[in-house]
Amino acid sequence: MKENLVLVRHGQSLWNLENRFTGWTDVDLTDIGKEEARLAGQQMLAEKFTFDYVFTSVLKRAIRTLWIILDEMDLMWLPVERAWQLNERHYGALQGLNKAETAAKYGNEQVHIWRRSYATPPPALSLDDPRHPRFDPRYAKVDPALLPATESLKMTLERVMPYWNEKIVPRLKAGEKILIVAHGNSLRALVKYLDQISDEDITELNIPTGIPLAYQLDDQLKVVSRRYLADEEAVKAAAEAVARQGLAKKE
């Protein structure tokens, strides 16, 4: 394998299925999501991918996807680092709401801005909202000032990038092959950086669930090649399906 970095968005989650804004809500995979993870693992095995080190978030839809992939690849022994910095973008007060119903209420355009604009965050959770991450024991050791009540993609990128630079870059520079299993928007942040996508163009990028995206990076970590391990049509259809989730249902 010439690629040294593979990014995988977790398989379908319960709230993907119910079409709800998820963010930092810790929902599990559906059976389809587990199957997507199995296929991702089998695909990488078939193409003789292997890894030295693995990163994921602290949310179970990503962790379980990773477990299934490593199981399929017979790589369960690999070291894994879980980091809140790789979590999904925090969706603020939208978390739990149905995307199509929200679009019916506020308009497709407003929902597209909340979902895909670079710098506009959704409405924030109040500090005393029980869903605020400061009440969740998994973030007990994180500086409370860093815990978001909402995030734009820009804010997500601002917490993903320091982690990338500090924890992932040194391993890539040392020649390790890295797998990252994370989320639609934390991966959009990383892909924006790697592929140097502009603030405008990133609004049109949708990452499909469960399809490995493999990068070959050079010594300077510049992109030599990138490809999804699926045919182009399948990737396009899956990305368009993600984009459509934010549209109001036609009467």
Q: Was 2 annotated as part of a binding site? A: no
88 contacts ligand 2PG (rule: CB under 6 A)? yes
The closest residue (CB) to ligand 2PG is 22
Which stretch in 36-44, 75-83, 127-135, 241-249 sits in contact with ligand 2PG by CB under 6 A?
A: 241-249
Looking at the Cβ atoms of 148 and 184, the one nearer to ligand 2PG is: 184
21 contacts ligand 2PG (rule: CB under 6 A)? yes
Q: Are strands 178-182 and 5-9 parallel, antiparallel or unpaired?
A: parallel
Q: Was 215 annotated as part of a binding site? A: no
Q: Was 11 annotated as part of a binding site? A: yes
**What's the min distance (Å) between Cβ of 99 and ligand 2PG?**
6
122 contacts ligand 2PG (rule: CB under 6 A)? no
Is residue 10 annotated as a catalytic residue, yes or no? yes
Contacts of 98 (CB under 8 A, 6+ apart): 18, 19, 20
Residue 93 burial (10 A CB sphere; 0-12, 13-18, 19+): middle
**Pick the catalytic residue: 3, 88, 132, 183?**
88
Considering only residues 184 through 213, tell me which ones interact with ligand 2PG, judged by CB under 6 A.
184-185
Looking at the Cβ atoms of 115 and 192, the one nearer to ligand 2PG is: 115
* Phi/psi of residue 130, nearest 5 degrees: -60, -20
Is residue 88 annotated as a catalytic residue, yes or no? yes
Binding site: which residues?
A: 9-16, 22-23, 61, 88-91, 99, 115-116, 184-185
Active site residues: 10, 88
Binding site for substrate: which residues?
A: 9-16, 22-23, 61, 88-91, 99, 115-116, 184-185
